[in-house]
Amino acid sequence: MVRELSHYVDGQRVDGTSGRFGDVFDPCSGQVQARVPLAGRDEVANAVANAEKAQVAWGAMNPQRRGRILLKFVELVNANMDELATLLSKEHGKTFADSKGDIQRGIEVVEFAAGAPHLLKGEFSDAGGIDVHSVRQPLGVVAGITPFNFPAMIPLWKSGPALAAGNAFILKPSERDPSVPLRLAELFTEAGVPDGVFNVVNGDKEAVDALLEDPRVKAVGFVGSTPIAQYIYSTAAAHGKRAQCFGGAKNHMVIMPDADLEMAADALIGSGYGSAGERCMAISVAVPVGEETANKLVATLQERVKALKVGPSLEPDSDFGPVVTAAAKERIEGYIQSGIDDGATLLADGRGLEVDGHEGGFWVGPTLFDHVTKDMAIYREEIFGPVLSVLRAPDYEEALRLCTDHEYGNGVAIFTRDGDAARDFANRVQVGMVGVNVPIPVPIAYYTFGGWKASGFGDLNQHGPDAFRFYTKTKTITTRWPSGIRSGASFIMPEGS
């Protein structure tokens, strides 16, 4: 039976009125499991109007009370964790355990955002008879446009700080797996978020453009591919909005000769193939330093790849599940053929995988290439699938140069026992997030997340203190009380002293 989904506006689910719908697939079977309405401009405008009205009282509320509501929401998410994770796995295709991790990393940011009273404090100075202080105030209505690969985590990374700061929030989630965002909206309402403060509007480019062009929407956060990140960033700026847009990635892991190769291989397998490689922080390029290191690493990887179990998302022994759509499967398999055509050595081929009882699913098995070079498309471009490339570096400086020269600068890792090498690498590499013996260097909630170069557009990152800077505007008040001394009118610029 095909489920009919909805939008979530003003504290309740509402049917779409545009007459346009998108299909939501079960990636394990390839069958349509739901239809999601695609909002038109009028529907987006209605959601924004409700949000604008509701934000006034929410923004005026004591931030500590807003924080209590967010903590109640965290309690409700934890109480409904299994339901949410199951829903997420069925629409996305990632394993049940991975889905729980997706949700957990999201609510950690909401927990951090509950500390808003401290993060919203301004500054004060006594400037010799003149008091100067600043306050942080909400922007009003803000929006988040989020991707399919983390349907819980990234919406919560965006909405948690935005709500804590006193804004109303419009979420435009991916139309490929919208059920978890809709369920989160219901839990926000149950926790005490007033009607209209958190809204979900499903849609495609028409809904995105409506949000970007609506003058009542003051800021937009986005995560997705680099071309769309550039489009949203430039369009938002042209309409006078703040924008924080995160794009693609090509994350390297440098393996030094002194590294624990067993540990490094396990890290590559987990970070390269976890969630079928559909992570912006996935390691997709292994850079062993020296031929001896490379030969040992590749041999170890081959053995581990053979042991991987690709299977249905809800089966506990599956290491990873299907990719999200048939189009994603076709694209990934095209990259695999491209790597062969360009002369890379294919050591494990994930094409043509079938899973018993799930023959129509969007399956791609673990794929491993050796002897990849910088000019190959499988190295230059983001594949977003379970494809790991080994690019051998003759020495440390060349490995560092590879990571720094790539157009993407999202995440990078180095595996070594040498503290000097790790320190030098972390200081010199031109990438936004660095892991030392950590394969997926996603910062904890009270630090900020963001890539450099073609991976990120905007001055401020996601979560951590940057989120509160992004979702608030600073007002500075200068005050002097009469002292009884009159000196007449002054026509010169006042001096700070």
As annotated, the active-site residues are 280
Strands (E) across 87-185 are located at 124-126, 131-138, 141-145, 168-172
* 3-class state of residue 35 by DSSP: strand
Query: Mapping DSSP to helix (H, G, I), strand (E, B) and coil, where does residue 139 land?
Result: coil
Of 344, 355, 18, residue with least CA distance to 207: 18
Alpha-carbon torsion 138, 139, 140, 141, what sign? negative
Selection from 65, 169, 72 nearest residue 470 by Cα: 169
Q: Is 87 helix (H, G, I), strand (E, B) or coil?
A: helix
Of 27, 279, 43, nearest to 172 by C-alpha is 43
Q: Please report the DSSP string for 263-329 in residue order.
A: HHHHHHHHHHHGGGG--TT-EEEEEEBSHHHHHHHHHHHHHHHHT--B--TT-TT-SB---S-HHHH
Return the percent helix, strand and coil in the chain, to nearest 5: 40, 20, 40
The alpha carbons of the chain give a radius of gyration, in whole angstroms, of: 25
User: Hey, is 40 helix, strand or coil?
Assistant: coil
CA–CA gap between residue 240 and residue 349 (Å, rounded) = 48
Helix (H, G, I), strand (E, B) or coil at 489: coil
Confirm if 408 and 451 have CB atoms less than 8 A apart: yes
Q: How far apart are CA 247 and CA 359, in angstroms?
A: 33
CA distances from 258 to 80, 396, 417, 421 (A): 45, 12, 6, 10
Q: In what order do the strands lie in the sheet with 31-37?
A: 3-4, 31-37, 21-26
Residues 6+ apart with CB under 8 A from 408: 226, 247, 248, 249, 250, 251, 382, 451, 453, 454, 455
* Among candidate residues 9, 3, 43, the one with its CA nearest the CA of residue 203: 43
Which structure tokens are listed for 58?
């929410």
Closest CA to 313 of 253, 361, 249, 241: 361
DSSP conformation letters of 437-449: S-SS-PPPTTS-B
Nearest residue to 415 (alpha-carbon basis) of 400, 435, 442, 444: 435
